[in-house]
Chain A
Amino acid sequence: MPERQTFQADATVTVDAELHDIWAVWVDARAWTTWDDSLAAVDIDGNFKEGATLTLTPTSGDPVQATLVSVTQGEEFTDEVELPFGVVRTSHRMGRVGDLAQITHAVTAEVDTHHVADFATTVWPELRGGVAASLTNLAEIVGD
């Protein structure tokens, strides 16, 4: 395996919402487009559980295959996409803070070193910005 460099970004929001409502929005993969502006369409093969395959069609670009690599109902899920430059994992986690819900979206990219320069200037800014943007959209949907 080539040597890789890791890029990470995350964002957290606290919102007046029920965890089961957030979970219901997350597991409706076909409707991720309602809170993730980078996506034009999503399809899922089978149930929302570990190992399921997602087809993510970005607003610009060709569809890519993602895999749900971790799903803990009511707590978190992570999907993973293998791309020519490396691997991108997007994690979604939630929990209660007092009467409120705390939601965290995070993206981790493990990028082959010889792609790092290109990735850092052309891909990463959009990925990083999308974390906060998707979280803001989600909070607006689920919040009271």
Chain B
Amino acid sequence: MNKTLTINISGIIFNIEEDAYEKLKNYISQIKSHFVNDSGCDEIMADIEARIAEMLQAKSNQNKQVLIISDIDSIINTMGRPEEFDDNSSNRSNNNKSSFSEGNNYTGNKKKRVYRNGEDKVVGGVCSGISMYFDIDPLWLRLAFGVSFLAFGSGLLFYILLWIVLPEAKTTAEKLEMRGEKVDINNIGKQVSEEFEKIKNKFETEAQDFKQNYGTKSRGAVGNFVNFFVEIVTKIAFAFAKFIGIFFIIFGLMLLVVFLSSIFGSSNIFHFSNGAQSISYSLKDLMVLLINNDSQRNLAIIGIFLTFCIPLIMLVYKGLRLILNIKYKNRIFGVIASILFLVGISIMVYLIADVASDFKKNGNSVDRFSFLPIGKVLTIQTNDKDYDFVDTQEEQDEDINSLKLGKWNYKINDKSISMSNIQFDIEKSNTDSFELLISRMAKGNTSKAAYARAESITYKFVQTDSTLTLPSTFESEIANKWRGQKIRMKLKVPVGKIIFLAKNSEQIIYDIKNVTNTLDSEMTNRRWLMTTDGLSCVDCADITTTTKQKRDRSSKDENEEDIDLDF
């Protein structure tokens, strides 16, 4: 004993066993999903259902009123499985990329698709296939790719990505799809309006169904309605996905070019400039400054490439999949990319730990120089001619080998790195002679290494007559890398001697104590007398910072006092 159902196909009533019904239902929905992208889908379905009804009618008669599963099987045999509709033989099922070419050349919906063209190829047929899609001469694309190969290989990466993403047109159907209709503005417009029309029609019929079914089968109708909206939302999301895809590709490619050119070339990838502060450096320069040796540098290049470029490549890959609407999944590609990314991260962690270990210990090498100036006034200046803050900045911006990290400049030369981390202070001397203390400091993974690194800093000052010239930069061998090298100087001045701070000394003087608490920038271009209390300004009649002077001052200088309070 079997349960039977009553069904209606094309207006004819049939009694059918439950399992046979399930089979028929599945079969019809398979056919429907096969033709769903077809413009004549509804009509084809109606025709096929009518034919099925006719055949079923022939199978049921007075003696046999119920349809059983073998009836359905025989119908499926005659009508054929959806995958048999397109080709007469089974060549489509041999093709493992069949899911990629669902719009076939029989269904009247001549959609164009991007394939690799194996018939006309130089490397992988990528350019040829794409130019087929846009109906242009492949020569231009090949040229463009050729040129982009030179741009630090970013084009090569993109090419390989396309090679992975795009399937080759193998069957005739795929080749026809590859050639397809011209894709131009008119056709795109047409397609959009057709899509719109389809949605509109669907909406109308859906609304009618809803009206008809309302009350009797309200739950089903609501379900249909929900499905319908889900479909619309999916379509909108799909269109949106294309935009996202384009964005992914552009964004990813731009960053890729930037990164690659920064690793292999030396273009500055970060550049912030706001008035006095400016930071700009390229990854290549950073590596020269930080990474110990060549093999580590190669490791760093690989590490940076994997950690930063793999996600970008994946971004471009996703973008391509989105805009080309590629459904088949290349699992291996994703797995390999994830593994490479993790490898990249491990390399970075290792390198960072390695470099950080070089900052564990401090080294300090102090030199003392005593001298007696000839005149009464000792001038302190740096070796910068025509020192002007703004000018030097502009110069540095043009110099690609110069790095600016916060306040300090680093310039990479052939054999050495010149650095500007220098601070100069003035103190009272307990003896009758001037004394200059120069501390060269650096860091290393052991105290010994740090000291050796500090020792290797080259810094030469010049004292002629009554002028002390202190260079604004010092040199460190390139092999020593940047390991926190800095120079701290202290000039001990005997009581009664006068110091003149030249304008260009402003970049090295740091927090020089004086009796009037004058700021460093205000101290330049003035003479300072060492008294038993500390430095005191000799020609500061116009300056405004002292509490002593304030007391002497008349009330008409109130404006200036306001400014002082800001300090």
Does A pair with B?
A: no
Chain B interfacial positions (CB closer than 8 Å to A)? none
